[in-house]
Every structure is written in structure tokens, then in C-alpha cells.
Amino acid sequence: MKILIIAEKPDMGRNIAAAIDPKAKNHRTYLEGEKYIITWAIGHLIELAEPEAYDPKYKKWNINDLPIIPDSFKLVPNRKTIDQLKIIGQLAKRSNLLINACDAGREGQHIFSLIQRHLKLSHPVKRLWISDLTPETIRKGFAEMKDAAAYENLTRAAKARSEADWLIGMNGSRAFTTKHNVLLSVGRVQTPVLALIYDRQKQIEAFSSVTFFQVEGHFSQGERTYKGLWQGDRLTDPSKAEMLARKVKGKQGRIASYEVKDTKEYPFKLYDLTLLQREANGKYGFSAKKTLDLAQALYEKHKVISYPRTNSNYVTEQNIPEMHNTLSSLQGTGYDDLVKGANRSLVHKGNKFICNPAKVDDHHAILPTNRKASGLTPDEQKLYDLIVRRFLSQFYPPAEYKMHTVITDVESEMFKTSVKERKSLGWKIIYADQQKEKPKNVKGAAKEEEDKEEIEVNEPFIILPDASVVCSDAVVKEKETQPPKHYTEGTLLKAMESAGKQIEDEELRDAMKESGLGTPATRAATIERLKKVGYVEMQGKKVQLTLKGRTVIELIRGAGIELLTSPEMTGHWERRLNEISRGTASDGQFMENVKKFATMIVEKVRVQSRAEKTLFESESTTQKGSSKTRGRAGGRSTGRSGGRTATTKASTRTAAKTATTTSSIIAKCPRPGCGGSIFMGRKGYGCSNYNVGCKFVIWKENYGRMLTDTQIKALIEKGKTGKMKLERQDGTQFQAKLILKSVESGELTFE
């Protein structure tokens, strides 16, 4: 009898074989040596059964048959990979010991557990738990394997997560779909994430810009010149701003106060997966899924980074020698000069900014391995470069600055100047070559730099506090308050990580990690799911809510199921799953609460009024066919996405006209004799009677301005808006009111 090793994917299996049994013979679906047989799962081979497996009546979607709450969940093989499952079953009969070598995390544990349960394998099991696929780490992992019983709580948490997602997704999706006769997908994680996007969109639409004025003083003291901003209440009257500028221009002043403070900026933390995804999105525009796929390739295929699906920014004491070895291995590569400048003594077990075992759960931060990178694609190289530079920065001292704060008094008017004088680059030398790259939007970047109150300089900044100054000029700058920004995938990941709380403080962000939306491994799949079901679409880097996405949140909240859209509540659930994995909470109690919640969802939807339908729907949600045809429900809740609980391909092929609530009606159509209603579509506000000839539409963007629901309502009901900042085709800006020029077409003009 032999020992059967079950890895999660073929590449992982081959890497393990190369490390512990290099002479193993390749049989395509497994490798066999004298002692070991190594095979793989190819992801999820087993799934939770669809409702019709419990009762044939569930083949037809009927709200009166809900909720569906199985006494025990049935398992079924994935038809696409059933041959590999049979191979595992056959190989197990030739083995007397199993080694679980699936990914070291909750989902890897779940994949193995499903195979074990479905095939009724009763073998003793050992667990291989490794963070990278270098031969040294694999061999060390085999020497330190534990009995499977040590991971039983993690298995319980994984099972609870899967079954909870099935219950919420299956019952929620069927309830809303059958009630409103439109294919709607809800899930434990995806719905709160959609609610984040919805709430941000409403904030943007409700935002009313305010014009204000800054007075900038230009000062000289001998040869030294500097600028300062007037300190006082916000100026909204341009005449007052101009009067203030005239008051100080050409006048002599004095230094009211001058403070100089030494500061240090330490290297940024090592990457966890979410932080890596955020920065790759910001710098290269990579989607969260693309970053995860690239990182997985760097880990599995190239073996040049450690396990990427981690939620930790720290390492353990055991990783410190590995980091030093990796630094040595980077000698002679493109990073050779940076390696030569590294200070090895900065990376040690006592450095809590790097080494903090208490903040490492399953996996340490993402690190490069000691294997030299070769054969990387351009995008793989970009991601690898991010990881290597972040790693190298830990071996460099902090950047040092002198912070100068000057208050200049001219005619009893105070102007503040903040100057950041660089003394030593420190770790920022790692990124010095990248600073020379020109931003893609040079004009926008220049304006952003100009608007900064703090100025960074390389040369010494010297002001004599007792010497007089002259205000050589005073300039009035017109500014405008800005609305909240649309989410990008990067900023959405950050919001998911902190359960919707916009936390800038890194320590607080760490504290919220256990109660975020989903896990590092599932967040990318959740975003992709929202795209797939037509709830969001990408406009450049922006995550844009569709009409269908807006409608589903309004329906859920309208039914009184606010809890289903709550990021904080879902964050609490994720925290409870983590507690189950540590043995400090009961999976049975968790599932009882989930069953009660699923029942409550159905009861609330059952008494909800059917939503009014509109034919003015966004292109991305328009589908062909009849919504009376229902497919399999709920999706594959055993998948990696924490909120992957919507509908399967059979369901998404059915037609669905977008439902809408009365709160989506902006106004009655102003076209004489029409009688239709105005709704917001993807690009504009149009009439529900457009299919019978009404051509009224107001485009969202007019004269360089994105119009809000309130402004559209004012145009339709009052014929005009209030005064606002607009933009001509040549880019020049002006103040004017928008006027509804034609009630037949919706054409606008201004006055």
C-alpha cells in the first residue's frame, strides 16, 4: 500500500512530486513513485446539490415552496471533472494513508473534505501546510505534517460557509425572482458589496457642488520666495476674496510663527492579497481577478512568490532567515544595485513592523522566494516587481524630512505655508526610478500637485523668523467642492476589507480584517460576479452601478430586509466563521441563525408588492427569451466566491425585463399627451413610452456636467435648474442655469 497525496491543482501536484519523489512516473492524471502516489483535485470536484435533488417540485420556481432548508446537505460530483474524481477514488483503494495537500486555507480544507465525504474515505489523514512551492519549503512541510484532527475546526468553518451561502442565495434569489418576475441574484456577500456601490452612487447624485475661493499669498524675504494660503472661514463671495487680495498685495508683513519638526516615514507594510490587488489596480488598472490570477501564476507556475491568498502583512520569526536568503538570491538580477544598498540588520525578529507572529493566522505576507524569476509575461513581471520592491524596502532605513510650518501675518491676515524638506530618501530610493515616469494624465496630475497645501522640496528651506517679508502678489483661485469618487476595484476592495467603513488608519484597518466582506481569496470573484449578473459595469477604472443593480437594492430594502444589504452584519458573519475555525464558536448555532434569516427573507418578500416593470432598461441587462423559464437555482455555493449564490448558466440564459420600484420614477413625461414616466437608464433619463414613439430623453452628461436625479426633476417640473458650473466644448467653464429647450426631445440649453 502507498501514501496518496491529493493536491488542489496539477501544477501543485507536480511541484510536490519534484521535491519529494523526482523519479515518480507520470500517468497524466497522477504521478506514482515507490512510496507516494500524487494526484490533484482541479479545484472543486464536488458541489452542494441543487434543490430538485431534495424534491422534484423544486425544479419549478415557486415562492410558495420556500424556504428550502435541507435537514442535511447532499453532495454531487461536478460533471465536468467527474473523471478525475473517479481516479482519486481508484487510487485511494491502493493507499493506506492520505495527505491533504490542497491550498493551506479554509477553501483548500473544504475541497479535500468534500472529496473525503463524497467518496466515503476512512483512511487516516495528514495535513501538508505550506506557504510556497519551492522544494525546500515542500520538504520542510512534509517533515512537519500534523494529523488532520488539528484542522477539524477549519473544516467546520468551511462547511458552514458553503451551506450558509447556499441557504441565503438559493432562497433569496428564488424569492425575489418569482415575486417580481425578473431574474434577480442575491447572496450573503455579493449583496452587501452591491449596496456599498449603490450608496456611493446615491451620495454622488445627491451631491451639490459649492464654489469657493482661495487667496494665495506670494511672499519674498531677501532671495527666498514662498507661497502661503489665507487662513480663515471659507470664502464663497468672490468680491470678498478679491478685496482681501487687494488688501495684502504689495504690503509688508512679518513671520507670526515658524516651527521646524524632524519626521520619519517608514516603509509601507508587506503585501497581503487585498493590498496587492488595490495597488495593482491603482498603478496598472489590473482588475482584482487579474491580479489574483497573475499572483497565482507567480506562485504555482514560476514559484517566485509565496502563497498569495493571505490576509496578513507580517511574517513570523521563521521567515526572517528566509527573507535574508531571498535578498542574497536577488544579487546579480535587475535588482542588484538595490540589494547592494540594503541593510540586512534592519530585518530581524525584534522589528515588529515586519515580524509579528500574533498577526499571522494561516499565512504570512506575500514574499518573493529565493528562486530567480525568468520567463515571466510582461504583466507577471509588473506584479512581481511590485512584490520585490516592497520586500526590498524593508531592508532600508526610513525617509527623513524637516517639516516647516510658517504663519505669515500681512495686515492682520494670516497665511499658512507648509514645506516638507527632504533630508534623506531612505527606502524611497527603491522607487526613485519610477518617480521619473510621467503620469498618464499630465494635466490632471499637475493640477492635483498645484492644489496640494504641502510642498515637498529637495533643497534647504530657510526662513528668518525675525526678518520682515513682502507680499509681492496675492492671487484669488476659484475652487469647487468635489463629490465622493466612484469606486474603482481598488477602492472597492478596501471598502470590502473594512466592512464598508472608510478607515484610513492602518491599525484600525487591521483590526477590521476579521469582519470584512468575504476573504482575500473570494473578493475578486465577488466583484466578477456582480459584473456577470449585470449589476455593475466598468467605465474605465470606475465601477458603475447599472439600472438593474440599483433596482435590486431598492427591492431588498423596500422589502424590509436591510440586514441583507448590511456590510457590517456580513462582516460579523465572517468574523464568526473565523471564530469557528479557531474553535471559539459553534458552527451549529451559526447555521441555526442562518436558517432563521433565510426564512425571514422569504416571509418578507412574500408580502411585498410586485415591482412595476419598465421597458427602459440598460443595455447590459437586456436579454432575450421568457422570464417564465427558470433554470437551476442558487449557483455553486461551494465555489471560491464567498457570495457566489446567484443563478447558474441555465438561469442567466432566460430573459428578464428589469423591474423597478416607484422610487426609481423621476417624474412624469413632460411631452404633451404622452402619459409616460421618466426613469434613469444607463446613459440618460428616458420615457417608459419610448417603444410607442416618445423620443424624450435627457442625457446624464450635459455641458461637461453629470446631472443628478434632483436636477433632472427640476428641469422637467420647473423647466430649469439652479445656477451651476458648466463647460463648453473648448473646455472653458462658465456659470449658468440649464433650461429645458424642448419638451418633445429633451434638448437642453442654458441661460
What CATH number did the domain enclosing 239 receive?
A: 2.70.20.10
| C-beta of residue 282 within 8 angstroms of C-beta of residue 327 | no
Query: Which residues are CB-contacts of 740 (< 8 A; sequence separation ≥ 6)?
Result: 670, 698, 715, 716, 719, 720, 746, 748
What value does the mean pLDDT take over residues 530-552?
Answer: 92
> Tell me, what CATH number does 50's domain have?
3.40.50.140
Helices within 394-468 (DSSP H only) = 432-435, 442-451
Cα 442 to its chain centre, rounded Å, is 26
Nearest to 715 by CA among 689, 744, 745, 748: 748
Pick the range with the lowest mean pLDDT from 152-166, 431-445, 479-493: 431-445
The whole-angstrom separation of Cα 532 and Cα 646 is 10
What is the secondary structure of 183-238 as a DSSP string?
-----TTHHHHHHHHHHHHHHHHH----EEEEEEEEEEETTEEEEEEE-SSPB--H
**Joined grid coordinates for residue 253:** 508683513
Res. 434: pLDDT tops 60: yes
The model's confidence at residue 574, banded by pLDDT at 50, 70 and 90, is confident
**pLDDT, tens digit, for every residue of 134-148?**
888 899 999 999 999
In this prediction, residue 641 carries a pLDDT of: 34
Q: Is the pLDDT of residue 167 over 70?
A: yes
Q: Quick one: pLDDT at residue 637?
A: 35
What pLDDT, on a 0 to 100 scale, did the predictor assign at position 133? 83
Domain around 243: 210-266+400-435+450-481
462 by DSSP, 3-state: which?
coil
- Is residue 661 pLDDT above 50, yes or no? no
Query: Is residue 345 pLDDT above 70, yes or no?
Result: yes
Other Cβ atoms closer than 10 A to 239: 9
Coil, helix or strand at residue 552: helix
Q: Does residue 628 lie in a domain region?
A: no
Give the helix/strand (H/E) hosting 245. helix 238-248
Same domain, 281 and 255: no
Task: Look at 72-81, 139-148, 481-490, 563-572 and tell me which has the smallest mean pLDDT.
Answer: 563-572
Model pLDDT for residues 293-330, shown as the tens digit of each residue? 999 999 989 999 999 999 899 999 989 999 999 999 99
User: Are 270 and 387 contacting, i.e. CB atoms less than 8 angstroms apart?
Assistant: no
Burial of residue 565, with CB atoms counted within 10 A of its CB: 0-12 exposed, 13-18 middle, 19 or more buried: buried
Instruction: Taking residues 367-396, report their average pLDDT.
Output: 97
Residue 343 lies in a domain: yes
Q: Evaluate if residue 107 carries a pLDDT over 90.
A: no
Same domain, 385 and 422: no
Rounded CA-CA distance 47/573 in Å is: 22
Residue 69 in contact with residue 167, Cβ under 8 Å? yes
Question: Rounded CA gap, 367 and 132, in Å?
Answer: 9
DSSP 654: S
Q: Which residues lie closer than 8 Å to 457 by C-beta, 6 or more apart? A: 419, 420, 421, 422
For the chain, give the percent of residues with pLDDT over 70.
88
- Does residue 400 register a pLDDT over 80? yes
Given the C-alpha cell 490576509, which residue does it identify?
A: 311
pLDDT at position 500 is: 52
- Domain co-membership, 294 together with 391: yes
Q: How far apart are CA 229 and CA 214, in angstroms?
A: 7
CA distance 104 to 528: 24
Confirm whether 445 is domain-assigned. Answer: no
Neighbours of 279 (CB within 10 A): 18
Question: Between residues 441 and 46, which one has the greater pLDDT?
Answer: 46
More confident residue, 479 or 497: 479
Strand 399-410 relative to strand 252-265, pairing: antiparallel
Give the whole-angstrom CA distance, residue 738 versus residue 723: 8
Catalytic residues: 307
The angle that helices 273-284 and 489-497 make with each other, rounded to 10 degrees, is 160
Say which CATH number the domain at 530 has.
Answer: 1.10.460.10
Q: Is the pLDDT of residue 643 over 50?
A: no
Comparing 75-89, 120-134, 622-636, 652-666, which segment has the lowest mean pLDDT?
622-636
| pLDDT attached to residue 662 | 34
Residue 204 in this model has a pLDDT that exceeds 70: yes
Q: Within a 10 A sphere around the Cβ of 733, how many other Cβ atoms? A: 12
Do 282 and 355 share a domain, yes or no?
A: yes
| Whether residue 133 is found in the same domain as residue 86 | yes
Residue 633 domain flag: no
Q: What is the pLDDT of residue 103?
A: 87
406 in the same domain as 260: yes
pLDDT at 448 > cutoff 80:
no
Mean per-residue pLDDT, 157-186: 93
CA neighbours within 13 Å on the CB side: how many for 289?
10
Peptide bond into 465 cis (omega under 30): no
Which one of 171-180, 385-394, 669-678, 690-699 scores highest in mean pLDDT? 385-394
How remote is the C-alpha of 63 from its chain's centroid?
34
Q: Tell me, yes or no, whether 15 lies in a domain.
A: yes
The pLDDT of residue 623: 38
Q: How far apart are CA 18 and CA 23, in angstroms?
A: 8
Calculate the alpha carbon distances from 672 to 418, 438, 551 in Å.
60, 54, 28
The DSSP secondary-structure symbol of 646 reads S
Mean pLDDT across 670-674: 87
CA proximity to 494, closest of 472, 513, 467, 466: 513
Q: What is the percent of the chain with per-residue pLDDT over 90, rounded to a whole number?
A: 66
Report CA 419 to chain centroid distance, whole Å. Answer: 34
- Residue where the block lists cell 446539490: 49
135 and 34 inside one domain? yes
Bridge partners (DSSP) listed for residue 220? 225, 470
For residue 116, what pLDDT is reported? 97
641 falls within a domain: no
**Res. 199: pLDDT tops 70:** yes
pLDDT at 694: 85
Alpha-carbon distances of 71 from 204, 582, 706, rounded to whole Å? 46, 25, 52
Q: Are 457 and 419 in contact (CB under 8 A)?
A: yes
Residues 197 and 225 in one domain: no
Predicted confidence band of residue 180 (pLDDT cuts 50, 70, 90): confident
Q: What is the C-alpha to C-alpha distance for residues 245 and 528, in angstroms, rounded to an integer? A: 52
Same structural domain, 503 and 607: yes
Q: Return the H-helix or E-strand segment holding 408.
A: strand 399-410
Burial class (CB in 10 A: 0-12, 13-18, 19+), 713: middle
Q: How confident is the model at residue 663 (pLDDT cuts 50, 70, 90)?
A: very low
Nearest to 494 by CA among 515, 507, 511, 509: 509
Does 564 share its domain with 467? no
Q: CA geometry: angle at 674 spanning 669 and 677, to 5°?
A: 35
632 lies in a domain?
no
Report the mean per-residue pLDDT for the chain.
87
Where does residue 268 fall: left (phi above 0), alpha (psi -120 to 50 degrees), or beta otherwise? beta
The answer on 419 and 362 residing in a single domain is no
What pLDDT is attached to residue 516? 80
Does residue 573 surpass a pLDDT of 80?
A: yes
How high is the pLDDT of residue 633? 35
Rounded to whole angstroms, the Cα distance separating 640 from 115 reads 16
pLDDT in tens, 592-638: 999 999 999 999 999 988 876 652 254 433 333 333 333 333 333 33
Task: Based on the fold, state whether residues 39 and 104 are members of the same structural domain.
Answer: yes
Do residues 188 and 573 touch, judged by C-beta distance below 8 A? yes
Number of domains forming the structure of the chain: 5
Structural domain includes residue 725:
yes
Contact 331, 341 (CB under 8 A): no
- Quick one: three-class SS letters along 360-389? CCCCCCECECCCCCCCCCHHHHHHHHHHHH
- AA identity, residue 70: P
Residue 339, C-alpha cell as written in the block:
540589494
Mean pLDDT of 565-586: 87
Region of 426 on the Ramachandran plot (φ > 0 left; ψ -120 to 50 alpha; else beta): left
